[in-house]
Chains A and B, each alone.
Chain A
């Protein structure tokens, strides 16, 4: 796993209108800037500071994070699955790194 590798998990079976739970993880050190290496060198702050969640054309959520979020940040939230469309997330870190992942919300036949 390298920095920025990300995964979004949604339920396998979704019906139109379901309130689904979305789980997301991104690989990132989330360094606070307060730790040192074993050699005593300070480790500079390096963390995800912004997360944008888009469903179809709509921005449905935005998260502002600090280095207080744990390493390899996970977040879960809900979504009203009212259309078949991509669910995309973009994580931006404090050095300008941008990481993307998306899944498609599709309805299972009733």
Chain B
């Protein structure tokens, strides 16, 4: 971790230099706005940022209230198991109405959307997905009352499963 920290620190310093120079790509601008490391899952790339904006507008995407279980290392990117669970209620007046699965560096990052109703009773979704390369995966749910909750997983992919 010490190595990673010092690396991130040096990246941050380099970023500060770019900021000062006024030559900013949009991903760097995004980073400048959020003030986070590029490696942080909460800093989406441009395409993912666009997807998040179209799904959730300006609502905050906070971490919590769900779990995303995936292997830390996926040897075969063609078949990567995913388990998404949440303890949030599924009552008629307050339920999880959708769960979105986003894989940052896949050709089509918005991989799946699961639209649910109270009749489903709980959020416990399992599936298998394809992954092109090592990246962050985002599971983001939206409640019927408009709250947005997320959890992230970093998956190392050995074999490209997307072609």
Residues of A within 8 A of B (CB): 19, 21, 30, 32-36, 55, 58-71, 73-80, 82
> Are B117 and A60 touching (Cβ within 8 A)?
yes
Q: A17: nearest residue on chain B (CB-CB)?
A: B121
B72 at the A interface (CB under 8 A):
no
16 contacts between A and B (CB under 8 A): A30-B130, A32-B107, A32-B162, A34-B107, A34-B162, A62-B115, A63-B112, A64-B115, A68-B112, A70-B78, A70-B79, A70-B127, A70-B161, A74-B126, A74-B127, A75-B125
- Point out the residue from A21, A61, A70 that lies within 8 Å of B114, measured CB to CB: A61
Q: B125: nearest residue on chain A (CB-CB)?
A: A77
- Point out the residue from A19, A33, A74 that lies within 8 Å of B121, measured CB to CB: A19
- For B120, list chain A residues within 8 Å (CB): 60-61, 77-80
Known contacts A68-B162, A69-B128, A79-B119; 5 additional CB pairs below 8 A are: A35-B163, A60-B116, A68-B129, A70-B78, A78-B120
Which of A19, A64, A66, A67 has the most chain B CB atoms closer than 10 A to its own CB? A66
Query: What's the nearest-Cβ distance from chain A to residue B47, in Å?
Result: 14
